[in-house]
C-alpha cells in the first residue's frame, strides 16, 4: 500500500471586511454571536475578485474556543458568483483577544484560527472550487478577517 502525504497549494487570500459583532447570547457556559460581512477582496494565483456585502459569521464560544460558521458570496473578476461556507475554530488567550479588539495586528502563531472552506458555483472556469478540499489559515488584521486558502492536492 502506497501512502502519500497531502500537498497544500496556495490558491488565494480572502480579505473580509466586517462590521462590529452582535452578541446574541445563549447560556452561562456558551455565547452565540454574529459578525456581518460588509465586503472585501480575493487575490491570488488562481482567483481574483471581491467579497460581496451580506452574509456573515456565526460563532459559538465554549470554554475559550469559538466554533465558527461563516457564509457569504465572492464575485470573481469574470463576474462569476461563488458561494462560500467557511467553518472553523478560533482560540486565543484573553490578552490576545484584547490586543486584537484594540486594533493590533497580532502574529498568527500567538493564537489558533483555522478554517475549512467549501465553495459552490456552476461557473465553468471556477468549477474546480466545488470539486476540491480546502483549508484556510486565518488571522485578524486591520478590521478584516484574512484567510489564506490552500487546496489539498
Among candidate residues 108, 116, 104, the one with its CA nearest the CA of residue 92: 108
Beta bridge partners of 70: 57, 86
Contact 149, 14 (CB under 8 A): yes
From CA 60, how far away is CA 82, in angstroms rounded? 25
Beta bridge partners of 72: 84
Domain contains 3: no
Domain residue limits at 32? 8-152
From CA 149, how far away is CA 152, in angstroms rounded? 10
Domain contains 1: no
Q: How many domains does the chain have?
A: 1
What CATH number did the domain enclosing 131 receive? 2.40.160.20
pTM of the shown model: 0.92
Contact 73, 51 (CB under 8 A): yes
Q: What does each of the 153 residues of the chain score in pLDDT, given as a tens digit?
A: 788 899 999 999 999 999 999 999 877 789 999 999 999 999 999 999 999 999 999 999 998 899 999 999 999 999 999 999 999 999 999 999 899 888 888 998 999 999 999 999 999 999 999 999 999 999 998 889 999 999 999
Amino acid at each position: 500500500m502506497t501512502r502519500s502525504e497531502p500537498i497544500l497549494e496556495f490558491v488565494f487570500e480572502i480579505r473580509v471586511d466586517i462590521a462590529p459583532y452582535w452578541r446574541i447570547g445563549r447560556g452561562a457556559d456558551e455565547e452565540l454571536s454574529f459578525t456581518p460581512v460588509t465586503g472585501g477582496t480575493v487575490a491570488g494565483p488562481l482567483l481574483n475578485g471581491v467579497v460581496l456585502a451580506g452574509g456573515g459569521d456565526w460563532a459559538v464560544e465554549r470554554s475559550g474556543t469559538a466554533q465558527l460558521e461563516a457564509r457569504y458570496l465572492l464575485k470573481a473578476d469574470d463576474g462569476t458568483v461563488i458561494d462560500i461556507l467557511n467553518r472553523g475554530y478560533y482560540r486565543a488567550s484573553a490578552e490576545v483577544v484584547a490586543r486584537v479588539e484594540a486594533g493590533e495586528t497580532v502574529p498568527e502563531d500567538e493564537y489558533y484560527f483555522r478554517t475549512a472552506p467549501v465553495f459552490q458555483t456552476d461557473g465553468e472556469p471556477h468549477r474546480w472550487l466545488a470539486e476540491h478540499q480546502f483549508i484556510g489559515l486565518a488571522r485578524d488584521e486591520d478590521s478584516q478577517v484574512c484567510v489564506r486558502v490552500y487546496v489539498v492536492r
